[in-house]
Structure 1
């Protein structure tokens, strides 16, 4: 039993340990090229949450890792077989209910740990935060915590070198041979503002990628994945520890 993992804890341990901060991992279930499993985002975010939670606990932080939400926003992939979509409005309802539970039990800090590029929680947390003003809401995406260019050669954001390397480290048994992987080539928008990065439109997956990947995975290695995993976990553990220890009313500098 790991006392920082809610799913493994019993009521006696939960009452004794009295969590200061809850961490909610949120992944997705979607196609990841031809070589990675549909639950790639879930395996990754659960591993990061678990390792960072362990380090934070060892630092003295009373942290509790909630069970992962395995479905995310996949509105751009509704025509890809069995990509399971949750609408943002559904995510808002889930977040509201979880926040109500935490508020009722005196846990006034929630870190929303995102593992899927299609999830965007800022607007949702503004709304939930207005309903539960006692709670400090923090969100981060694991892929934004460190400079990925220090670890990987190829750019991309889906079933790419980064995700493939992570899965080679975390779940090599679920990675098909890289010879089966597509190239992850992305078709770029014809709209200038989108190409330059100052305008946005949701990508329609069947139009931008032939294999559902974005980024070439061919240079992925287990060693790269392990180094990246360790760096991100350490960074997240620092966040968990800091949020657990901070006085909510004194969280801004003078």
Structure 2
């Protein structure tokens, strides 16, 4: 039993356990090119949240990692077979229920460890922060760490070199040979403002990519995945530690 993983814990230990910070990993269930499993984002969320939890726990933080939510926002992928969509309003309802439980039990800090680019928790946490003013509500996107560019050569954001390397490290038995993967070519918007990044429209996935990947995965290796996993989990663990120890009423300098 890992005492910082709720799904592995029991009532005998939990009823007396102090909790400074709850962590909610959130993934998605969707196609990841031809070679990676539909659970890629879930596997990443599970493992990153848990390993960061281990590091933080061993350094004295009283954290608890909740079970991973396996479905995310996939509104732009309605025609991709079995990509499972949760609307943002559904996510808001789920989050609200979870936060209500934590607040009632005087666990006033929640961190969402997000593993899916289609999930955007900022507006939800703004709204829920008004409903639960005692709470410190935080989200992080581990895949946006700047360290990523130091470890991988090919740019991308879905089933790319980075994600493929991570799954080669975490669950290699679920990865098809890389010669079976598509190249992950992305078609860019014809709209200048969107290409430049200051305007936004949701990507219609089947118009943007033929193989559901964005970013060439062919240079991925298990070794790159292992190295990056350690970088990410150490960084996320630092965030756990800071949040666990921070005084909510005195968190600004």
Same fold (TM over 0.5): yes
Q: Is the 1:146–1:232 contact (alpha carbons within 8 Å) kept by the matching residues of 2?
A: no
Q: Would you say the 8 A contact 1:142–1:232 is kept in 2?
A: yes
Counterpart residue number, 2:59:
59
Aligned to 2:21: 21
3-state secondary structure, aligned to 1:140: strand
Query: Residue by residue, what CA displacement relative to the aligned partner does 1:42-78 show, whole Å, maximum 9, x if unpaired?
Result: 0011100000000000010000000000000000001
Query: Conserved in 2, the CA contact under 8 Å of 1:159 and 1:213?
Result: yes
Structure 2 SS opposite 1:199: coil
* RMSD, aligned α-carbons: 0.6
Q: Aligned residue for 1:215?
A: 215
Name the residue aligned to 2:243: 243
Alpha-carbon offset, residue 12 of structure 1: 1.6
Q: Say yes or no: does 1:168 pair with 2:157.
A: no
Q: Compute the displacement of 1:148 (Å).
A: 1.0
Kindly state the Cα deviation for residue 147 of structure 1 after the two structures are TM-superposed.
Answer: 2.2
**Cα shift at 1:13:** 1.0
Per-residue CA distance 1:141-176 (angstroms, 9 max, x = gap):
110134211000000000000000000000000000
The CA distance in 1 between the partners of 2:31 and 2:145, in whole Å, is 24
Q: Normalising by structure 2, what TM-score? A: 0.99
Can you list the C-alpha shifts for 1:112-142, whole angstroms capped at 9, x where unaligned? 1100000000000001111001000111011
CA contact (8 A) 1:21 1:108 kept: yes
Counterparts in 2 of 1:106-185, with a 5 A limit? 106-185=106-185
Aligned partners of 1:168, 1:83: CA distance in 2, in Å? 22
- Contact 1:162 / 1:220 at 8 angstroms: preserved in 2? yes
2: distance between equivalents of 1:137 and 1:13? 26
